[in-house]
Amino acid sequence: MKSSALMLVIGALSLVGGITALLNPLAATLSAELLAGYVFVAIGMLMLLSIFTDDSWRSRLLSLALGAAILAIGVSLVSNPLKGVLQLTVVVAVLMLVMGVLRVFLAFWVPATRLKIMLILSGFVSLVLGAMILTSFPFSAAVALGILLAVELISSGISLISLGLAARDRAT
């Protein structure tokens, strides 16, 4: 019962957060960019700290190089959020295009099932979204990340609420 109530509360908070982000996508975009920046800073610092626990010089050098690069990316995102929004928007759009192409190609490797159709549809959606973001760039940068965050929060909220209700029903 406790876990179902917790899922319902977290789901409701996620849903409210998603709706709030959808109502103000610029603020959500800046929040997502800053969150990403702070996460990069934390990961970079942890990788640099791992140098002291690595066994070989090769792994220490790799941790040093990757940690310094990730830390630099994080500091860049946090110190200049508007530039970071532009950079992250391009990265997200390119990733959507790449994932779209990969999904369509993958669809030709799976047997003729519903999965094939879903992969092709999903691939085309990713391709269209990536192209939409890039063709309206830099204007899309102001809201693209915020809208993606809003959709993710709303989707997660609905999923968690559904899981919480199902868990509650099973418990009774």
List pLDDT tens digits, range 80-111.
988 888 888 888 889 889 988 988 888 888 77
Both tokens of 168, joined, read 């509650």
Say whether pTM exceeds 0.75: no
Tell me the C-alpha distance between 46 and 57, whole Å: 17
| Per-residue pLDDT at 98 | 92
Tell me the C-alpha distance between 78 and 55, whole Å: 32
* Residue whose entry in the numeric block shows the structure tokens 């934390």: 42
Q: What mean pLDDT, rounded, does the chain reach?
A: 85
Say if residue 13's pLDDT is above 80: yes
Pick left, alpha or beta for residue 146 (phi over 0 → left; psi -120 to 50 → alpha; otherwise beta).
Answer: alpha
Tell me the C-alpha distance between 146 and 142, whole Å: 8
72 pLDDT tier (thresholds 50, 70, 90): very high
41 pLDDT tier (thresholds 50, 70, 90): very high
